[in-house]
Amino acid sequence: MAEIDARLREDVHQLGELLGNTINAQYGAAFLGKIERIRKGAKTARRGSAAGAEQLSAALDQLNDDELLPVARAFNQFLNLANIAEQYHRIRRRGANEPEPFESRVLPELLQRLLAKGHSADALARQLGRLDIELVLTAHPTEVARRTLIQKYDAIAAQLAAQDHSDLSSAEREQVTARLQRLIAEAWHTEEIRRSRPSPVDEAKWGFAVIEHSLWQAVPSFLRKADQALQATTGLRLPLTAAPIRFASWMGGDRDGNPNVTAAVTREVLLLARWMAADLYLRDIEQLAAELSMQQANPELRAQVGDSIEPYRSLLKQLRERLRATRSWAQEALHGQPAVSPAVLQDNRELLEPLQCCYQSLHDCGMGVIADGPLLDCLRRAVTFGLFLVRLDVRQDASRHAAALDEITDYLGLGHYAEWDEEARLQFLQAELDSRRPLLPAHFKPSAETAEVLATCREVAAAPAASLGSYVISMAGAPSDVLAVQLLLKEAGLQRPMRVVPLFETLADLDQAGPVIERLLNLPGYRARLHGPQEVMIGYSDSAKDAGTTAAAWAQYRAQETLVKVCSEQQVELLLFHGRGGTVGRGGGPAHAAILSQPPGSVAGRFRTTEQGEMIRFKFGLPDIAEQNLNLYLAAVLEATLQPPPTPEPAWRELMDRLAADGVSAYRGVVREHPQFVEYFRQATPEQELGRLPLGSRPAKRRAGGVESLRAIPWIFAWTQTRLMLPAWLGWEHALANALQRGESQLLGQMREHWPFFRTRIDMLEMVLAKADGAIAELYDERLVESSLRPLGERLRDLLSQASAAVLGLTGQSQLLAHSPETLEAISVRNTYLDPLHLLQTELLARSRQRENQADSPLEQALLVSVAGIAAGLRNTG
């Protein structure tokens, strides 16, 4: 077993000791001793000691009711502190003889490799400068940590950095330790679990906080280093106007199944984004106005400020006043409809031009070293974030648009839109889109649901184009779904183009994605309304929930191939939008490998993907970590564009067809067809209790019903808590075993070696199987599941073992992740703290189900803390 880096181990030990001091101060040494017995019992039990397992069980059994919550909190907090130490370790100061991490080397090394393969310096610089990557931040309800705690965790990471110097005096070291002790005490004495669900506006503010505290610093630093790497390789610079990575958001715009996201909420979030952007730029401009006291200026700058003694300050103070006016207007607009004064900034050029003027003047006057400092950083932010901070997407289910049109056609005496076939719908929609008259009379009084759809469309029409991203249609399945939105937007007064994006989610819809887009592009008039690329969203969550990851992954790949072919034939640019989550069951996994495994031609300088739930914090919560992840995205999209992966061999495709067919059959045989499955799922996992966890603003269910009614996120979250991880692997065990039985192991090996798509799938499968734990899942069954349902649990755990055996057979290893001992050791260390939480959770679930608990009772709080702790320990929960 690999040893964890001594410095990381030391940080984890120190944070654990300081947490122990805090617990001791509140509860005394005897209670701290109980926690230590539980920890040691879990550690030795994991090594196979029966005495350790007995010690762990006995120590937990002896806890009083009033000790359950503090014990759950202790292990939860330790796992959060371990996460902080691990995150900091990734970005810690490196000695002269230590290699740079892969994330820092990835772009310079790629540029050298591409140059060696014959790409010209000009072509590389041009392609890098025009990359169009958009990361869409979403507030899916798996971020279990409260914002106030996240801020304390960030402060703890900053103190780990402060003490990471060998030359600190003993007084300085003591000062850092004292700060760490105080921060850990603050975190301990702060409730982990929100008392009430966040509103969609709260979620949007959480997203803005990630920008303010991390990305605002990370983006200019990341671009500075990308510019340096490009210059070192090619001698060329990144253009000032280049923004290869931008950000969008669904927070406050995603109304699919969330009645809390209304037109009023969307308007408020758009205004808050403008307020926050103006406020952030004001801080930058205040600093620049203080620093740029130079007197020499070029004629262009002089023409704007006259014979001012300090021309740069004069121009920046003008911009400062306009930013103040913009911020004040946004503040007032949150409470009414104030008049827009001419001073309010409306177009990004109004922000950029003064900055560019100062930058050019400094360079012209021999002060380039000054221009390339904070002024360049501010310019880079202005190009990346603009006046609107993030572009807000709007998302709504296709059925809501159809229902609105059904009400409208019925009111107009035209019949029922809902009953028309696709041809009739298209004929009606095209005629209305071409018509110059309004569809609706002024006195039309819609139902509440239709009124909300129309109000949302009016907000879209009223908002500045640059503040909005795409209008995404969930559960799209036909061209009429796209035209329906275009007609509703036209009716609301939208007179500019907006990307209307079908989201193909189920297996059947993915298979039809290519034909649907081809039909759409061939409709008369559609191409005239299509400005820019045809965007199509590929759903990972619902396709995996519908068919299992084996069949879903292959359906997503084939859908992309078909879409690339259709758009190429139609001579239309394609932009694929990937709806990925944090877990393997929802398309998660390392982004770099995932991008490089996409079909050839599908990443052609453009890439759009969701960043979901708690993964936003893990990937972008600290500026240096954010920088590393931005590097990975940039390098992967550049490589996939210029060096796409090979087209799969016919034999690989045929085998993948067989794997997918076997996978979906095995998956649905359990999830859809086993008569006891839904009841087993409800009893064996905390699925019902998760609905009470105040994580996100939207409900856990779309509607009443069984598994099909559940959202993909709580569906996966529940299985993660019990460590069965079922949605991420179910179906693979049958598919791979059948292939091995057919004697196809050599072909599987070829696919794994030469086909990035297949290799990435197997790597992600191996990772999730290494985190899965049948023995833990069995504990949930023993405590929570009635005896008649337990045979199903045994069968599922047997299938889990088969999946592991099949992966080991394919990879030729004796142990999962044998090739990555550091990861194995990290999982092993976490298990010492996770095992007590799992045991506690089973007991808490049993007690909770036996009695009616108030939401704020200690038992209920302890249960929710155990959920949060397991989520923190496993990291990718939803």
Residue 442 has pLDDT above 60, yes or no: yes
Residue for token digits 């996966």? Answer: 716
SS3 of 604, please? coil
Average pLDDT, the chain: 90
| Res 824: pLDDT | 83
Give the Cα separation of 625 and 88 in Å (integer).
8
Q: Which of 140, 152, 490, 578 is catalytic?
A: 140
Backbone angles phi, psi at 423, to 5 degrees: -65, -45
Q: What is the pLDDT of residues 466-489, one digit of tens each?
A: 999 999 999 999 999 999 999 999
pLDDT over 90 percentage in the chain: 69
How much is the average pLDDT of 243-264?
Answer: 94
Burial 48-60 (b: 16+ CB within 10 A, else e): eeeebbebbeebb
pLDDT band at 656 (very low <50, low <70, confident <90, very high): very high
pLDDT band at 102 (very low <50, low <70, confident <90, very high): confident
pLDDT band at 876 (very low <50, low <70, confident <90, very high): low
Give the Cα separation of 795 and 324 in Å (integer).
65
| Res 708: pLDDT | 59
Give the Cα separation of 827 and 416 in Å (integer).
57
| Res 485: pLDDT | 98
Q: What is the pLDDT of residues 400-414, one digit of tens each?
A: 999 999 999 999 999
Residue 542 has pLDDT above 80, yes or no: no
Q: What is the pLDDT of residues 269-317, one digit of tens each?
A: 999 999 999 999 999 999 999 999 999 999 999 999 998 999 999 999 9
Residue 531 has pLDDT above 90, yes or no: no
| Res 333: pLDDT | 95
How much is the average pLDDT of 595-607?
Answer: 93
pLDDT band at 65 (very low <50, low <70, confident <90, very high): confident
Give the Cα separation of 269 and 264 in Å (integer).
9
Strands 468-474 and 391-397 come out as parallel
pTM score > 0.85 for this model? yes
- Judge contact between 876 and 583, C-beta under 8 A: yes
- Single-letter amino acid code for the residue at 160: L
Annotated catalytic residue 674: no
SS3 of 134, please? strand
Q: 195-199, 673-677, 745-749: which range is least confident on average?
A: 195-199
Annotated catalytic residue 545: yes
Q: Which long-range contacts (CB under 8 A, 24 or more apart) does 39-47 make?
A: 39/832, 39/833, 39/836, 42/831, 42/832, 42/833, 42/835, 42/836, 43/832, 45/835, 46/828, 46/831, 46/832, 46/835
Q: Which of 34, 152, 205, 545 is catalytic?
A: 545
Q: What's the angle, vertex CA 442, arms to CA 440 and CA 446, rounded to 5?
A: 65
pLDDT band at 854 (very low <50, low <70, confident <90, very high): low
Burial 317-327 (b: 16+ CB within 10 A, else e): bebbebbebbb
Q: What is the pLDDT of residues 708-730, one digit of tens each?
A: 555 556 788 899 999 999 999 99
**Helix (H) / strand (E) containing 626:** helix 623-642
SS3 of 536, please? strand
Within 10 angstroms of residue 836's Cβ, the number of other Cβ atoms is 24
Q: Give the Å distances, CA to CA, from 350 to 186, 272, 279, 317, 377.
A: 44, 20, 16, 14, 17
SS3 of 608, please? strand
Write down all domains in the chain, each with its CATH number in brackets. 274-385 (1.20.1440.90), 396-586 (3.20.20), 650-874 (no CATH)
